[in-house]
Amino acid sequence: MGGPLAIEGGAPVRRSLLPYGHQKIEEEDIRAVTEVLRSEWITTGPKVAEFEGALAAQVGAKHAVSFSSGTAALHGAVSAAGLGPDDEAVTTPMTFCATANCVFYAGARPVFADVSPDTLNLDPAEAARRVTPKTKALIAVDYAGHPADLDALRALASRKNLVFIEDACHALGARYKEHPVGGIADMTVFSFHPVKHITTGEGGMVATNDENLACRLRGFRNHGIAGDVRERQLQGQWHYDMTDLGFNYRLPDVACALGLSQLRRLDDNLARRREIARQYIAAFCGLPGLRTPEVRPDALPAWHLYPIRVEAGKFKTDRAGFFSALRAEGIGVNVHYIPVHFHSYYRDHLGYKAGEFPVAEAAYDQLISLPLFHGMEPQDVADVIEAVRKVASHFAAG
């Protein structure tokens, strides 16, 4: 089917490379940003609180505090959790390195625990095994947009007196047992990078129901100073006090206006992502050797990624061969993730070796993320399906 592979000189399924993720900007977004550019406040002004309020309402949390990126938001969360030198935080190796890096920012030590074979999310039993008297926080990731095992992790956190942080950078709009991701963990972190569900260019948010944590987060992103310049100007005050060492991690009004405008389309974006995932499942469920992402009955994923697994020994090639063949067909596949403990920095600083997290490592050898974003046209989806079928049938064993 489909003629010779592009990698062997055949015609590619498509000429332009389809990326794995991409933003979608509408005219109404541009109008919202332009309006702010013409206004009095282009950084911390009225749009910040408006965006924070709208996001908090969307994810069912009492408070949301914006940051200049998802990574800055993670830094804020570990700091608000009180992590410092000699402390440890248990987290997953199957994630973007920022999830674990933030623990180093606080001077503490990330400790990895293996993932569950179905969702590739932090396995609560493995996490429990890694808890020591030094552990102060648990950082789970909703891999690919599928909520982590939140009840079990929350129970572990309360049993061991840990702060439970959920890195939901993949999961804006996901639901767990009917509850939106955002009001379940002590702090839930979101990213508005262009490949995510909504974008502000760069940006992030921490959602929490805890007033005290929200207060610490607000101080942390503004140098450790309570209140902001605009409040003081409006009240005619000059005095301020820096009570903690913080950073300038503020998200400007220009970005918040874009976020507010994008947030209005979040439900449409999620519906489109779910529809594409449904089409992929229907197209690939009958292809032997390709494992599609599993969804637990209590989860409604937000489908940030669509990671398939090329099962070992089922094709006349491996993941690398599959990957190159799909790229040559014009499909911008990616790999999420190289397990974090494999990166040189982690090997050098923590001494982890291959073999310590067998489930994550075995998955890594097989993973390929197919393009999935809400701006995909029907033809883009059809191209991905055609290319995967073409490559799979070409390399089919026996």
Residues annotated as part of the active site: 196
CA-based nearest residue to 188, from 256, 151, 137, 141: 141
Phi-psi region of 84 (alpha: psi -120 to 50; beta: other; left: phi over 0): beta
Pick between residue 93 and residue 204 the one whose CB is nearest to ligand PLP: 204
Pick between residue 44 and residue 334 the one whose CB is nearest to ligand PLP: 334
Q: Does 98 bind ligand PLP (CB under 6 A)?
A: yes
Q: Does 197 bind ligand PLP (CB under 6 A)?
A: no
Pick between residue 190 and residue 284 the one whose CB is nearest to ligand PLP: 190
- 189 near 74, Cβ under 8 Å? yes
Amino acid found at 35: E
Tell me the window of 35-43, 94-102, 113-121, 342-350 that interacts with ligand PLP (CB under 6 A): 94-102
Tell me the window of 67-75, 111-119, 252-260, 314-322 that interacts with ligand PLP (CB under 6 A): 67-75
- 90 near 111, Cβ under 8 Å? yes
Q: Does 76 bind ligand PLP (CB under 6 A)?
A: no
Size of the chain, expressed as the number of residues it contains: 398
Backbone CA torsion sign across 57, 60, 65, 67: negative
Q: Does 191 bind ligand PLP (CB under 6 A)?
A: yes
Which of 20, 96, 315, 352 lies at the binding interface for ligand PLP (CB under 6 A)?
96
- 81 near 216, Cβ under 8 Å? no
CB of 8 to ligand PLP, least distance (A): 34
Binding to ligand PLP (CB under 6 A): which residues in 145-174? Answer: 167, 169-170
Question: Rounded to an integer, what distance in angstroms lies between the CA atom of residue 159 and that of residue 155?
Answer: 6
Which of 44, 71, 121, 222 lies at the binding interface for ligand PLP (CB under 6 A)?
71
Which of 21, 45, 93, 204 lies at the binding interface for ligand PLP (CB under 6 A)?
204
The residue number with the shortest CB distance to ligand PLP is 70
Enter the tokens of residue 261. 């405008």
Query: DSSP for 27-58?
Result: HHHHHHHHHHHTSS-SSSSHHHHHHHHHHHHH
Question: Rounded to an integer, what distance in angstroms lies between the CA atom of residue 219 and that of residue 153?
Answer: 28
The interface mask with ligand PLP, positions 102-141, x = CB under 6 A, is ---------------------------------------x
The interface mask with ligand PLP, positions 215-254, x = CB under 6 A, is ----------------------------------------
The count of other CB atoms within 10 Å of the CB of residue 343 is 16
CA-based nearest residue to 97, from 317, 321, 343: 343
Enter the tokens of residue 233. 């100007």
Which of 23, 44, 69, 199 lies at the binding interface for ligand PLP (CB under 6 A)?
69
Q: Which residues bind ligand PLP (CB under 6 A)?
A: 69-71, 95-96, 98-99, 141, 167, 169-170, 191, 193, 204
